[in-house]
Structure 1
Amino acid sequence: MRVFINGFGRIGRSVLRAWALGRQAGARGGTAGWPQIKIAGINDIATPDMCAYLFEYDSVFGVWPGSVALEGGALLVDGRAIPLHRTADIATLDLAGVDVVLECTGRADTADVAGRGLLAGAGRVLISGPSAAAEFTVVLGANDAGLAGQRIVSNASCTTNALAPLVRLLDGAYGVVTGSMTTIHCYTGSQPTVDAPAADFARSRGAALSMVPTTTSAQRLLDLVLPDLAGRIEGSAVRVPVASVSAVDLAVMVARVPDRAAVNALFRAAGGVTGGVIGATDRALVSSDLRARGESIVMACPETRVTRGGMLRVFGWYDNEWGFSNRMLDVAARMGA
């Protein structure tokens, strides 16, 4: 199947890195990631040399462990040529034969923008974030059974991809009555590097200098993805001065109170049940240890707590760029199939 990346920012580049690393693994005799996917092209308004440079040298994930070059209007990654386009309107391209456009510009919140890839001739569009234009918002491990032929799909948010499978797992095992979630989230490009005016006063402050309390779209999206649990989980966020890897701190009241060992056993077994969406660790890890982990969330078993009153507190790490980009490829493969 042919996949086209529109927008070569943090997620677009991470998607290409994850896909190309899968190709490297296959060439070494290991398990190739997403062998059915061919990256048919990339579009971004940045110059080709800038696209190549930012792909090769990444401040979070390091230098690309292979070759990167430009040749004849294409980006060559490990010798594979991927055509580069530079247009502000993807609808002006000829995308006939493209199965799925990965819409990674961060601007596809209206039907007009989200549907530009369809106008160019592509079969379907997967948006790398929340979008009111989506016909369906999918989170693998939570509601992916509802993915069935929709032409414009949203992959929700990184935090929703971490939270929704976890809530679904806990509700199935113990019955979630109510709860509160805080995402401890690394800073992103939506925050200023130095103090600058913003609609949210706290979000106007320098991202790398303070912990910043703010809101998260994950609460609203959780209600959309798991409507049977709508209104039961409140959510908030604290942006913290680290460049990558975030965390979910979730406290829920449950109908069937488990013991700590049973909860951790559930987490350790979850990878096989969810297809690797949920991982688990028994080690005393810190956020940088989880960089480039492909799961949507990795539960920190030493952090699990259960109170006598029936409250369960769990804690999980997620690489908000890498895990989400892996899910983009997973969902694209499902849509193409």
Structure 2
Amino acid sequence: MSRAGTDRVFDEWVDRGSVAAAMVPIIDGLHRRHNVVTTIHGRRLVGRSVNEILKLHRFARHVDGVELSPHEVLPVLHALTRLDLGPSVVDVADCNAGFRRQDALGLDDHLRLVLADAVGSGPYAAAPRDVVVYGFGRIGRLVARILLARSGGAYGLRLRAVVLRSTGPEDLVKRASLLRRDSVHGPFDGTITVDQDEQTITANGTVIRFIGAASPSEIDYTAYGIDDAIVVDSTGASSDRSTLSAHLAAPGVSRVLLTAPASGDVPNIVHGVNDAAIGDEPILAAASCTTNAVTPVLAALDERYGIEHGHVETVHSFTNDQNLTDNHHPGPRRGRSAALNMVPTKTGAARAVAKAYPPLAGKLTGSAI
């Protein structure tokens, strides 16, 4: 390529970057002031850098066949600011594509039509819902990160409290440190401060009360201004309706979500497969990682072709209950050094898949490595 050609490519990149940079305050303002989360084919634009925004525009070619132009998206974002939008998730790629397919309406009128359900709904279409994370191990901290990343957005969920068993006077500082840094998922995106006197951690402006308790029966959430809350149980200690119901007996709690597979008659929900079963059910489970990964694929295959028999094999990372070096363990294979062994063990994923998608009941076996 000639010098003129390389200069032209670079100038085009600078131009696209300038347009993406102009998007950042608009995206942020829509999110903070109107609780609107903007996306490109389901991928959030909120909190992205200029280069990340450009990368998402390029990603669009996998969906639309062509790279999305920032010059087309910027006017869409400007138009969104002129609408009185309430909490919503707006896919700017879809909005742009729909506008380009028609020529009867101007951009503002087109967006007002396709986003009619969100226009004029005010700053909160629904009252924010209090959330309590019960247990602050690795899963609990990741749940907290997700909730904090979406606070002030269109999701209506507010992390109000974390319940754990206190281990000493410096426990809150240690918990904040674990939230701030994760060896696999990286640093927390934002700021975290600790108030020992109030027993709170403030993360990105969200004040989180830390409550010490050995069981749900010890807690009155209304004493902390928490009501009609969803408790996310991430302890791994409870898995059936009788034990999880203890949360519902605590004042201020109305629903319970288990972050692991449930036993008995508690519904294991896999989004896109059986989420219609949520309804008003007060106790739900989010199923397991394997169940969420494989059930949508198996359901699609079964509906299209039919499945007579299948075997589910999971290649899994090592977990907290495995030994660092060879040692005694209730499960002999898990007694081997976690970092040096990938050993087959049993899994309940096959049964859990059938629970979320009953047509496969009795047709699957499973194990894990």
Q: With the length of structure 1 as denominator, give the TM-score of the two structures.
A: 0.65
Q: Please give the residue correspondences for 1:301-320 in structure 2 after superposition, counting only pairs within 5 Å.
A: none
Shift of 1:131: 2.5
Counterparts of 2:255 and 2:178 in 1: how far apart (Å)?
Answer: 27
Correspondence 1:55-66 to 2 at 5 A: 55-66=179-190
2:175 counterpart of 1:51: yes
Please name the residue that 1:77 is paired with: 203
Which residue of the partner structure matches residue 88 of structure 1?
214
Provide the C-alpha distance between the structure 2 equivalents of 1:103 and 1:90, rounded to a whole number of angstroms.
10
Q: 1 or 2, which has the higher strand percentage?
A: 1
Contact 1:114 1:133 in 2 (8 A): no
Partner residue of 2:294? 163
Higher helix proportion: 2
Percent identity over paired residues: 32
Give, in angstroms, the shift of residue 42 of structure 1.
Answer: 0.7
Matched with 2:148 is 20
Alignment of 1:192-211 (within 5 A): 192-211=323-342
The answer to whether the 8 Å contact 2:312/2:349 transfers is no
3-state SS of 2:308 partner: strand
Task: Return closer, same or farther for 1:111/1:171 CA change in 2, 3 Å cut-off.
Answer: closer
Corresponding residue to 1:113 among 211, 234, 243:
243
CA distance in 1, matches of 2:309, 2:356: 16
Q: Deviations over 1:293-316 (max 9, x none)?
A: xxxxxxxxxxxxxxxxxxxxxxxx
Higher-Rg structure is 2
SS at match of 1:123: strand
- Distance in 2 (alpha carbons) for counterparts of 1:175 and 1:187: 33
Cα deviations by residue, 1:126-177 (Å, 9 ceiling, x for unpaired): 1111232653221112211211211111211111111111111111222222
1:177 and 2:308 aligned: yes
Cα deviation, residue 62, structure 1 = 1.3
RMSD over aligned CA atoms reads: 1.7
Cα distance in 2 for residues equivalent to 1:133 and 1:123: 20
Q: 2:232 aligns with which of 85, 90, 102?
A: 102
Alignment check: 8 A CA contact 2:216 2:247 kept: yes
Unmatched 5+ stretches in structure 1: 27-31, 239-337
1:3 paired with 2:123, answer no
Are 1:4 and 1:98, in contact at CA under 8 Å, matched by a contact in 2?
A: no
Q: 1:221 aligns with which of 320, 336, 352?
A: 352
Distance change >3 Å, CA 62–CA 93, structure 1 → 2: same
Deviations 1:41-68 (A, max 9, x none): 1111142222111101111111212111
CA distance in 1, matches of 2:211, 2:262: 24
* TM-score, scaled to structure 2: 0.59
Contact 1:134 / 1:152 at 8 angstroms: preserved in 2? Answer: no
SS at match of 1:195: coil
- Structure of greater relative contact order (alpha carbons < 8 Å, 6+ residues apart): 1
What SS class does the counterpart of residue 161 from structure 1 fall into? helix
Contact 2:241 / 2:266 at 8 angstroms: preserved in 1? no
Query: For residues 297 and 221 of structure 2, what CA distance do their matches in structure 1 show?
Result: 37
Q: Does the C-alpha gap of structure 1 residues 179 and 133 become closer, same or farther in structure 2, counting only changes over 3 Å?
A: closer
Asked whether the 8 Å contact 1:134–1:154 carries over to 2, the reply is no
What's the CA shift string for 1:189-243, capped at 9, x where partnerless? Answer: 12111112123221110110111111111011112111111122221110xxxxx
Residue 111 of structure 1 and its aligned partner are, at CA, apart by 4.0
Partner of 2:344, secondary structure, is: strand
In 2: Cα distance, 1:138 partner to 1:110 partner? 14
Q: Which residue identity does 2:135 align to in structure 1?
A: G
1:137 is matched with which residue?
268
Candidates 136, 147, 160, aligned match of 2:278: 147
Task: Assess if the C-alpha contact under 8 Å between 2:200 and 2:210 holds in 1.
Answer: yes
- Structure 2, unmatched stretches of 5+, are 1-128
